Amino acid sequence: MRSVMPDWAIWLIVAIVLALGELAIFTGFILGPMAAAAALTAAVVAGFGAETEVQLGVFSVSSAIMIAALRPIAKRHLTAPPEILTNAQALLGKRARVLETVAEDAPGLIRLENENWTARPVPGSGPIKPEIHVRVVEIAGATAIVEPLGGNSESEGETS
């Protein structure tokens, strides 16, 4: 006598294959886990003895609901910028102190995050004298592009 596999077992296998497929080939779409959850829902319905058409309907509807509800949340998490900025991005907006005059024609020296950096002023801002506090607006290679804090670089005389 030939034994036929129950519908709930087939749905369980489908759920496992979908989940493992997403792990093996991460698409970023997060479709595998949602479809696997929908297959598990269909397996529960099949376990209660529902007809094949009802099982397929439950699978389709629960897949559509999960994709519509969860995919936007998953995409937002996948495309979110890092919470901790690193490298040059972490230095943008930081305050520094001028150690040697910073001019467009001759780079100067600033003290930024306990390190000395070569610096140039933002184009058109003029030279920035020592002991003036500046803000980093850009990092170009190993040079910080800075602007004076609080106005005119010639008239400021802040000390640290």
Does residue 42 have a pLDDT over 50? Answer: yes
Q: What is the pTM of this model?
A: 0.48
3-state secondary structure of 137: strand
| CA distance linking residue 22 with residue 39, whole number of Å | 14
Provide CB contacts within 8 A for 70, sequence distance 6+: 30, 34
Pick the more confident residue, 128 or 89.
128
The predicted structure's pLDDT at residue 75? 80
Report the run of H or E that residue 77 belongs to, with start and end.
helix 52-79
- Cα–Cα distance, 125 to 151 (Å, whole number): 10
pLDDT top residue among 12 and 150: 12
**Within 10 A of 74 (CB to CB), how many other CB atoms are there?**
16
Tell whether the model's pLDDT for residue 156 goes beyond 70.
Answer: no
| Tokens 């670089």 belong to residue | 153
The band of 151, judged by pLDDT with boundaries at 50, 70 and 90, is low
pLDDT in tens, 63-113: 999 888 887 887 887 787 777 766 788 889 999 999 999 998 989 999 998
Domains of the chain: 7-79 (no CATH), 87-148 (2.40.50.140)
Instruction: Give the closest residue to 38 by CA, choosing from 56, 52, 20, 24.
Output: 56
Distances (CA, A) of 84 to 28, 90, 92, 148: 22, 8, 13, 26
- Biggest CA-to-CA distance, the chain: 99
- Sign of torsion over alpha carbons 15, 18, 20, 23: negative
**Quick one: pLDDT at residue 155?**
40
pLDDT value of residue 108: 94
Q: What mean pLDDT value characterizes the chain?
A: 85
Does residue 61 sit in helix, strand or coil?
A: helix
pLDDT range class, residue 130, cuts 50, 70, 90: very high
Q: Specify the pLDDT at position 30.
A: 65
Give Cβ neighbours of residue 81 (< 8 Å, ≥ 6 apart): none
